Structure 1
Amino acid sequence: MVAAALAGETNRAALFLAATAGNVLGAIVNFALGRFLIRFENRRWFPVSATARQRAEALFQRYGQPVLLFSWLPVVGDPLTLAAGLLRTPPTLFLIFVTIGKAARYAAVLWLTP
């Protein structure tokens, strides 16, 4: 995204929307895995380890749904979105918090890109 913004060949608003939408869609996949497919947790292809899931659940239970604002963070973000599914977060609240967090990240990255 930064390379495309620096090249100036793509509208920054389009970059922002594409990056945010793609990242939110990835979070929705993790949410669905937590909600419906956790029985496959021990499979090699499953995106979150049991240890990371347990840490994310502890964070989620301690701070509640607003912790999803930090779903953009590397290492922590995917387990948080999986834990949200496991803990039956209402999908609307999930989408609100995750979208705000991820959109803020990409807005900041584009704002800091000359």
Structure 2
Amino acid sequence: MFDFLYSDISYLGLFLVCFLSSTLLPLASEAFVLGFIKLNFNPTLVLIIATIGNTLGSLSTYGLAFLGKKNILEKYFKKSLKKLEKWDTNFFKFGAFFAFFTFLPLVGDIFALGLGFAKYPFLKSAFFILLGKFSRYFFIIFLSSYF
């Protein structure tokens, strides 16, 4: 189904899938990373591109919350926003942990939104998000070499 991403677009396709999967869209970037590794793409390039794409996707979610108009977001995420408002102090206090764990499925997007709403510093968010995404993809690529 997604063969064109591997053959025609290759690394750009990987970047796009990784970017979109770390926004509020449910895509499995891990499967694409494994596919690229199994198709003998350069593991270092796959690691770098997937990490950058996924990090930028999470930062776009963070930016949406940080800069976005709250009334627009309330229209689409009303229940989640009420929960996030209660967590603002926790997001600010433990922001590095939340940022690192943005790689987790389902809750990672909520963590990125929460960091933005709590106005957690951008550079700290970016660093720990990058670190978490890199760790996940490194682990996936490392394990794939054994299977």
Within a 5 Å distance, the mapping from 1:1-114 to structure 2 comes to 1-8=33-40, 10-37=41-68, 38-44=70-76, 49-55=77-83, 58=87, 61=90, 64-66=94-96, 67-114=98-145
Which structure ranks higher in relative contact order (CA pairs < 8 Å, sequence separation ≥ 6)? 1
TM-score w.r.t. the length of structure 1 is 0.84
Q: Say if 1:68 and 1:98, in contact at 8 Å, map to a contact too.
A: yes
Q: Counting helix residues as a fraction of each chain, which structure ranks higher? A: 2
TM-score w.r.t. the length of structure 2 is 0.66
Q: Which amino acid aligns with 2:94?
A: G
Give the secondary structure class of the aligned counterpart of 1:88. coil
5+ residue gaps, structure 1: none
5+ residue gaps, structure 2: 1-32
Identity rate, percent: 22
Mapped partners of 1:83, 1:35: distance in 2: 9
Mapped partners of 2:36, 2:99: distance in 1: 28
- The alignment yields a C-alpha RMSD, in angstroms, of 2.0
Mapped partners of 1:93, 1:15: distance in 2: 24
Give 1 or 2 for the bigger CA radius of gyration. Answer: 2
Give the secondary structure class of the aligned counterpart of 1:89. coil
Mapped partners of 1:36, 1:76: distance in 2: 21
Q: Which amino acid aligns with 1:52?
A: S
Count of aligned residue pairs for this structure pair: 109
